[in-house]
Amino acid sequence: MRPALRRLVDYVKAAKVFRRNKKNVEFKILAALLYFFGLSLRKTSNYLSLFEEISHESVRIYYHRLKKVLKKPRKRERRIIAIDETKIKLEKLIFVWAAIDVDSKECLAIWASESRGSFEAYVFLKEVLKYCENKPEIVVDKGFWYLWALQRLGLKYKHETFGRRNAVEGFFSRFKERTKRFWNRFPYKSSFVSVQSRLESFMAFYNYRRC
């Protein structure tokens, strides 16, 4: 077993993430990783049930539980952060915001909002700054909603279409590969709370894979 995966198994066991131990921890982690890498809940369940019976609901639970032990970004000095947002469909369109450290490619924050404006940009930037000891340069597109928020927080910024913004574009490319499994919609009748939980789980596994 690779050292990083071995450490994850040890973290999960020490944190007692799972209340029941009918299935071993390695099996549960494998189920969550397969789902993260693109299989649907039902396909993950079907494939793994060839070895040991597992329901698609169990796969979903394992995926969400594991984010509790995957390490959050560490607060430190950061040079440049690329920020962007994209649209996804729930029962209506919602916006997903993401911030990527351009140097490390680490996702610092991900957040869903029902609208896109200066207030939402300000709230998201405040969340991003929790993982910065300094005030890094921010790279954004020309969305007007960023200007007031960036100036209010006293942040240096640049508008770029490509270049350093490729870091966050790459993140959203990977994210949309996952949402395509749902025809670019989140699972049917997902609540807004469920959407945020799924986003945080995706971010946790994305950063774990990057490491």
> Which helix or strand (DSSP H or E) is residue 9 part of?
helix 3-15
d(CA 106, CA 104): 5
Task: Answer yes or no: is pLDDT of 211 > 90.
Answer: no
Highest-confidence segment of 6-10, 45-49, 79-83, 160-164 = 79-83
Give the global pTM. Answer: 0.82
Q: How confident is the model at residue 63 (pLDDT cuts 50, 70, 90)?
A: confident
